[in-house]
Amino acid sequence: MIKTRDIKFDYNNQVFFQFPDIEIKTKENLLIIGNSGIGKTTLLHLLAGLLESKSGSIELFGKEISNLNSYQLDTFRGENIGIVFQRSHFVNSLTVKENLELAQFIANKKDNNRIDTILKSLGILDKSDKKTNQLSQGEKQRASIALAIVNSPKLILADEPTSSLDDENCDRVIKLLKKQASEFNAQLIVITHDNRLKKHFKKSIKL
Amino acid sequence: MNIFKLSIKNIISKPLNSILSLALLILGIGIISLLLQLNSLIKTQMDNNLKGIDMVVGAKGSPLQLILSAVYHIDSPTGNISVEDAEEIKNNRMVGSSIDLLYGDNYKGYRIVGTEDKFLDLYNAKIKDGKKWNAPFEVVVGAKIYSKLNINLDDELVSSHGLRETGESHVNQSFKVVGLLEPSNSVVDQLIITSPQSIWDLHDEHDHDDEDHEEHHDDEDHEEHEHDHDDEDHDEHEHDHDDEDHDEHEHGDKEITAMLIKFKSPMNIIQFPRQINENTNLQAAVPSYEISRLFKLFGFGIETLTYLAYLIILVSGFSLFINLFNSMRERKYEMALIRTLGASRSQLSVMVIFESLILTISGFLLGLLVSRLGVMFVSSLMEESLNYSLSSLYILNEEFWLLGLSILIGLISSLIPAIQVYKMNISEILADE
């Protein structure tokens, strides 16, 4: 259950955002679509607790996250939210597997089987001991999905996951995301300007 | 995986980033630790060998030379003194005990000292195998010598004249090894000890080599020779002697090289040496005074070098700070990622501080290692030129202080980067991609 009401955010007097209310039930996915500069990333950061909203409420799984302090917010995010960024980020000094182990350590959920399960399901188990900068673009994207779901989050937030991909790859990636979300019982919210994704989602919001 | 391991992986994955700071730190810590070690080792060595010696009496010359030659056996003696003069001093009521020393010969660079039994007690040296020297030409060998030159009981040692290996050999006379000493960690370890009589005999004998080949293995004959051939004796000793010594020589006295003296009361140390120096043709030197003077001479150089080393450590801290600062900027997406995975601000700051501390503490440890190698190197140099060696297996208190300093440098260098990471706005960084 994810519910927001009257979220507003401003960076300064000129840049001011007011977002439509969101409400999705358990097992539902959501596509949020909007053009550049309309505050898509801001909304994603607000939902992830990376930014604090100036007003309104954000309720994730029965918890009002604007009431949490910085430390509680970090913990909550680690436990419940996985984020797939437009560009993949990793800790470059670590291998794929070590990146996943680090994520588990931070969320206090050590489970080596799960790492293997996920890497296998994403088809990159053989890359687990590779440094992340040795991966191809496609492998990087898979690895960053693995990082987002390794701690069994209830919510996966994806920021422009397909914007730089051709149609074929766009299809593949969004299917992969949906498949992983349902396989590991997470809800998926994709924020994008990419109209190609509309057909993959039953529910969508336009900013 | 945990934060500590992550820090280590971060350092290892980009070794070039930290190598300069690390090298500077190793250099700084290494120099200071080496100076501390050498200072302490030389001081202990010097003090060990000073125990129970309040004053040294010998021929006129440099007091420091007298101390170095008679106490540490690393310089040439100032000359010889006559037994009569020495007796006079021994009979003074202020003198508690005294030990005669005679030297002027060596075996493969190690000095042969003619002295009394008391000499061993002075350094707490004990016989390990065999017995003490008794008859002339019996010797007891110090621990370092027999282990290095592989000398065993009953071996015959052919000595050379002078204190260096290059001296002329006493081809016709050899010493018999009757005892081996336990290691005593004092100057005795590098000495070959015999009776005073052996030295007197040796030099008499030597003079007569050309005239008198049959006699030299007959111990009883030696006594006579001492009295009979004084004039020739004179030539033999010329290498070591000052001109004034020659007069005494010609009067037919036996000579000794120096005398170690312990006073009845420590108070005498002020007055008595001065009396000797002013009123006799002997020289008295106080080892503790001469050695502290020597250390003062070294002191200036050591101090300058120490300041230089602290400066190097300071620069290493600054270079470390710049490293961390740049590395955090380079890794800002990583940091943001780690935060989005649920890490708190303080966990990231701790990671930065760990990275800094891991570097400075390994710099400290490697610095100690370097200083130990330095001690070994200096020791091998000293061994070659002075037959002195040093070894250090323990950590000095001052070195714990250096550990503290390394940790402090690590903390200070990482302070600003850690705060920077703590205050990092992850949303802004991630939106910036």
Render pLDDT for A101-135 as a digit per residue (tens, 0 to 9). 999 999 888 888 889 988 988 889 999 999 998 99
Q: Which of helix, strand or coil describes residue B174?
A: strand
Query: Do the Cβ atoms of A91 and B337 come within 8 Å?
Result: yes
- Record the tokens describing residue B184, joined without a space: 């005593």
Query: Cα separations (Å) of B136 from B305, B342, B429?
Result: 50, 87, 90
Phi then psi dihedrals of residue B262, to 5 deg? -115, 135
Contact (CB, 8 A) for A75 and B342: yes
ipTM of predicted assembly, 2 dp: 0.90
Q: What is the pLDDT of residue A29?
A: 92
Contacts of B126 (CB under 8 A, 6+ apart): B120, B181, B182, B184
Q: What is the pTM of this model?
A: 0.74
Residues with pLDDT less than 50, chain B: 208-251
Q: How many helices (H) and strands (E) does chain A have?
A: 6, 10
Nearest chain A residue to B427 by CA distance is A50
A172 vs chain B: nearest CA distance in angstroms? 23
B433's CB contacts (< 8 A; 6+ apart) are A85, A86, A87, B333
Verify whether the Cβ–Cβ distance B344 to A93 is below 8 Å.
no
pLDDT, residue B361, reads 95
Q: Which of A36, A51, A88, A93 should we substitute to test contact with B (largest number of B Cβ atoms within 10 Å)?
A: A93
A158 touches chain B (CB under 8 A): no
Of B13, B344, B430, the CB nearest to A92: B13
Identify the closest residue of chain A to B5 by CA–CA distance. A102
Confirm or reject contact between A190 and chain B (CB < 8 A).
no
Cβ-defined contact of A103 to B345 (cutoff 8 Å) = no
pLDDT score at B75: 83
pLDDT at B248: 38
Q: Which pLDDT belongs to residue B66?
A: 92
Please, is B131 exposed, middle or buried when counting C-beta atoms within 10 Å of its C-beta (0-12, 13-18, 19+)?
Answer: exposed
Residue B103 contacts residue B113 (beta carbons within 8 Å): yes
Q: What is the number of residues in chain B?
A: 433
Listing DSSP states for B307-327 in one string gives: HHHHHHHHHHHHHHHHHHHHH
A54 touches chain B (CB under 8 A): no
CA distance B290 to B66: 10
Neighbouring C-alpha atoms within 13 Å toward the C-beta of A172: 11
pLDDT (0 to 100) of residue B392: 65
Q: Which residue of A has its CA nearest to B335?
A: A91
- Here the tokens at position B252 are 């037919």
A 108-137: CB under 8 A from B: none
Chain A residue closest to B348 (CA)? A106
Task: Inform me whether the C-beta atom of residue A77 falls under 8 Å from chain B C-beta atoms.
Answer: yes
**A6 Cα to chain B: minimum distance (Å):** 20
Distance from C-alpha of B217 to C-alpha of B136, rounded to nearest angstrom? 11
CA separation for the pair B152, B142 (Å, rounded): 11
Please tell me the distance in Å from A123's CA to the nearest CA on chain B.
22
Q: Which chain A residue is nearest to residue B14, measuring alpha carbons?
A: A93
Contact check, Cβ <8 Å, A91/B333: no
Residue B249 vs residue A44, higher pLDDT: A44
Cβ distance A107 to B342 less than 8 Å, yes or no, reads yes
- Of B215, B197, B211, give the one whose Cα is nearest residue B254: B197
Distance from CA of B39 to the nearest CA of A (A): 43
Rounded to 5 degrees, φ, ψ at B133 are -65, 145
Closest listed residue to residue B24, CA positions, set B354, B363, B403, B415: B363
Q: How far does A76 lie from chain B, in Å, by closest CA?
A: 7
**A74 contacts on B by Cβ (under 8 Å):** 339, 342-345
Q: Residue ranges per domain, chain A?
A: 2-206
Helix (H, G, I), strand (E, B) or coil at B159: strand
Question: What's the rounded Cα separation, in Å, for the pair B281 and B238?
Answer: 19
CATH number of A2-206: 3.40.50.300
| Backbone dihedral region for residue B185 (phi beyond 0: left; psi -120 to 50: alpha; all else: beta) | left
Closest CA–CA distance from residue A204 to any residue of chain B (Å): 22
| Helical axes B345-386 vs B3-13, angle rounded to 10° | 60
Interchain CB contact of B341 with A (< 8 Å): yes
Question: CB-based burial of residue A37 (10 Å sphere; 0-12 exposed, 13-18 middle, 19+ buried)?
Answer: exposed
Structure confidence at residue B418 (pLDDT) = 95
